[in-house]
Every structure is written in C-alpha cells, then in structure tokens.
Amino acid sequence: MKAIGFIPVRYESSRLYGKALKKISGLPAIVHVYKRSKLSKELDDLFVVTDSNKIIEVLKKYNVKTILTSKHDNGTERIYEASKKYKFEIIINIQGDEILVDPTNIDKLVRHMKKNKKYKYFLGVTKFNKINQKSVFKAILNKNEEMIYCSREDIPSSSIVKNNNRLKVVFIVGYFKNYLKKFVKLPASYNELREPNEFLRIIDNGYKIKTVKFDKAEISLDTYSDLIKIKKLIKKDKYFNKKYY
C-alpha cells in the first residue's frame, strides 16, 4: 500500500500575505515544508500543489516537485484535483503552514492508516498548553480517539480545563483515495462554514476522523508573530541542522 504526500499552498494568504515565500534561514517557507517532508520514510512520492505561478517559478530553483492546479476554496479540494493523476491508496495532506513539520509524525500517521483501515480519515493532534490562541485549532475527542469537534476557541472551556489537558490539531491529514473523492463531493457544512474548517464537513456528514497523537509538533505559520518564532526555533532544529537542502 503506497502513500503520496501533497503540500497544498496558495500565495494570497489572508493573515500573512505571501507567507509561503517568506524567507526563513535563507529558504522560502514552503521549501522547508517540502524538504522536511522528503525525509519521511513512508511517503513514496511528494509534491507541492498550488494555483500560483509565482510559487511554481520560485520552487523550480530548489528542485521541488510541483503541480499547478486551478483555483479552489480549500487545500483538500486542491489535493483532490492533483491526486487524479496518481495511483496511490493513501494520500497525505501536509499543509503548507507546517514549516517545522517533523517527518516522523508523517510516518506515524501513515503507519496508523495501514493498520486501521476501518477508518477513512486521519488527523494528527498533540498536547497544547496555551489559551486565547485563535490561530490554533483545538480538538475534542471521544473515548475512541475520534475527533468530534474542533475550533479556534478554547475547547474544552479554559475556565474549567487545565491548560495542559487541551489538544491542538496538527495539519497532517490522511485520506484513503476513494474517501477523498467522497469528501470533495459533499456540500460545505454548517459547522465548517462557522469555524471555518473543512474537516468539520467530514464529521457533519456522519463520517469518523481517527486522530493520531504526536509527542510534539511545533507551531505552524499563520501570523507575523509566528514567523518571528519560527525563525528562532529553526536555528536549533535537528532536521534543519542536517542540511536537508
């Protein structure tokens, strides 16, 4: 059973415009995501998928494999368009915001998918100990570690739950190919539009999302403040120090 990784990215990001090409330790942000994901032992192929010719032109300089797509409302729909050309059973969505993605987390998710085929959708989560962080999606799980809701708000309530008992969503997402197709054919759901988060479309339509707990996952790039933090964190990062470029 083979797995392909797609990194969806767009240039016109609303919170930090053009963040995909922001330089971090000499490399565009999206190049870090690609090079780190390439260190995964479970992915059989990997592409950046984008509707931006500007991003495509920059990535050519770094030998990054790319696919140019049409415009889409979200990254999952972009991945579906790209996936039609390839015969892989497992599709991994590594969002372009995950600049400090740990390749061992990708591997862990893929291995869980191979062992738990009764589930069709998988999502990474990790412990989170901060409050009032609206750039971070927090997740609620049931006893089977299936996600039942996620929100930018502090859930469970920060007035009741201790900070270190909260979980955040890590945007490494797995789909079995046939169920990716089912996802994109579903209409946008009420909760998806309220949050907004397209993964709530899966839950709202009665499907289950199996979560995979990661020991650790660093912040993703959403704001200028995140960019400053990531620039500091990467200087001590073990994968970057391997000179993955």
Would residue 54 count as lying in a domain?
yes
CB atoms within 10 A of CB 213: 15
Mean pLDDT of 119-137: 90
Would residue 243 count as lying in a domain?
no
Would residue 130 count as lying in a domain?
no
Mean pLDDT of 25-47: 96
> What predicted TM-score, i.e. pTM, was given to this entire model?
0.93
pLDDT confidence of residue 75: 86
The structural domain count of the chain equals 1
Whether residue 156 has pLDDT greater than 90: no
CA max distance for the chain? 50
CATH number, domain of 24, equals: 3.90.550.10
Q: Are 66 and 48 in contact (CB under 8 A)?
A: yes
pLDDT confidence of residue 14: 72
Q: How far is CA 26 from CA 1, 16, 121, 182, in A?
A: 36, 19, 35, 40
Would residue 203 count as lying in a domain?
yes
Would residue 136 count as lying in a domain?
no
Would residue 133 count as lying in a domain?
no
Q: In one letter, which amino acid is 54?
A: K
pLDDT confidence of residue 74: 84
Would residue 153 count as lying in a domain?
no
pLDDT confidence of residue 1: 87
3-class SS of residue 4: strand
Would residue 150 count as lying in a domain?
no
Q: Domain residues for 107?
A: 3-124+169-235
Q: Which two tokens stand for residue 10?
A: 């767009």
How far is residue 203's CA from residue 146's CA, in Å, rounded to a whole number?
Answer: 10
Q: How many residues does the chain have?
A: 245
| DSSP H or E stretch at residue 78 | helix 75-83
